Structure 1
Amino acid sequence: MNVRHLSTAFVAAIALATSACESEPVECPEPLYGGGATDEAWHAMVDVKTRPIDSSRAVTLLSPAEGEVYPADATPPTWEWTSPIASLERPRARGALAFQAAPRPSRSFTAWLGELLVPTAHAHLPPYTGDLYWVEISTPGAECPVAQVLTSELSWQLDSNTWDELGKHAGKELTVQVMSAYLVQNRVTEGPYRLDTPRKFRRGAQ
């Protein structure tokens, strides 16, 4: 093979390798956890996230309000919502045992970062049964959320570390999207449901 052919082959190989790297999906970090939510249940939610948007039973966000601007010195808010799937009566499956995972403290952003650097073992939790809400805060064009939580509750009290993280995007448009679903032993049986249009808000700049 002459030098010209070798050079062409090398460039083609580099282009192919670069293309393969670019096509790999970005792996975003786990969310914070609230209520009885577990990492196993989160993986079940991830598996159904690419399904077409169904807003027929999406939550109704009570806060934040559309276009709300939080002052730069505002304290971390509590966001709340109502959900059609939270009030539905469901019969227990015959011959099946449905376990509700015991609540565990929500991890802060600092705790998540610490575990990323020094992983720790988590005890295996019982399969989760119940409604779950995956709240994601994003900025336009970003592949991963700025902050996120998976919770079994109908509210999210943002912790100070998460609020500080949002403060790094002060003045920018942020959006809140909520994906909800009902799970039976870590398997999504209803949903997912999402808001037709994510809710917009901002944090004021200093």
Structure 2
Amino acid sequence: MTTRRILGTVCASALLLLTSACDGNEEEPTKCGEPLYGGSATDEAWMTMVDAQKKPMDASRAVTLMTPSEGETLTANAAPPLISWTSPLRASLERHQPGRLARAFPRRSPGPLAWLGELLVPTAEAHLPPYTGDIYLVQVTVPGRECPLEVLTSELSWQMDAASWSTIAGANGQELSIQVTSAYLQENRLKEGPFRMATPRTFRRAATP
């Protein structure tokens, strides 16, 4: 094959890729944008959890929050808190089907034209391999703020970051709430759940003296 024909093939492939990326078929993000991510959680797993919010919720295998405790008041100058929980869903997976324990599929090596896709559509490689495992969407509702603080994680805890803790400072002394939605995904598809606590956990960050 001549150099001209090779370049022609490459350009045609590039045009197809670019057209596909701009055809308007991409899913619209939620108005609040993406959450923070922890563990092996991915943006595509998050989209599955967004869709799961429309389904009936089941509290039978919802998480049990360990920290913070119900009604706890955290001092304003304390370090960002750890939000942690136990999960009947995780326990069930470990007990009955340990091979299904949270994991992400191995990454694939980039193909010979990966550089071209990155050049034309920088987000082409942003999508991670399909996620399989238990997943947790943590939402902290802050009074006066339209969107909750959100994190999607495959772990059983979230160490709140400094920026999120600073955001909460705007509601010092007011009641905050934590809700956790859990599910089991197989290659980004909802297989079990969603499960959600029957009652959100409430806590406060003390008012600044």
TM-score (norm 2): 0.70
Identify the match of residue 138 of structure 2 among 120, 135, 138.
Answer: 135
Show CA shifts across 1:57-108 (max 9, x none): 0001001111011111111111111101112133879xxxx97157xxxxxx
Q: Is the contact between residue 135 and residue 179 of structure 1 (CA under 8 Å) also seen in structure 2?
A: yes
Q: 1:165 to 1:65 in 2, by over 3 A?
A: same
1:141 CA drift (Å): 7.4
Residue 64 of structure 1 corresponds to: 68
Identity %: 55
Residue 90 of structure 1 corresponds to: 97
Residue 198 of structure 2 corresponds to: 196
- Supply the distance in 2 between the matched residues of 1:91 and 1:63 (Cα, whole angstroms): 26
1:169 CA drift (Å): 1.2
Q: 1:68 to 1:91 in 2, by over 3 A?
A: closer
Q: Over the residues paired in the alignment, what is the CA RMSD in angstroms?
A: 2.5
Match of 1:182, SS state, is strand
Give the number of equivalent residue pairs: 161
Residue 126 of structure 2 corresponds to: 123
Q: 1:167 to 1:140 in 2, by over 3 A?
A: closer
- Supply the distance in 2 between the matched residues of 1:142 and 1:55 (Cα, whole angstroms): 26
- Supply the distance in 2 between the matched residues of 1:101 and 1:28 (Cα, whole angstroms): 28
1:144 aligns with 2:147: yes
Q: 1:173 to 1:99 in 2, by over 3 A?
A: closer
Match of 1:43, SS state, is helix
Match of 1:153, SS state, is coil
TM-score (norm 1): 0.71
Match of 1:85, SS state, is helix
1:175 aligns with 2:177: yes
Query: Would you identify which runs of 4 or more consecutive aligned residues in structure 1 move more than 3 Å?
Result: 89-93, 139-143
- Supply the distance in 2 between the matched residues of 1:142 and 1:197 (Cα, whole angstroms): 20
Identify the match of residue 159 of structure 1 among 158, 161, 182.
Answer: 161
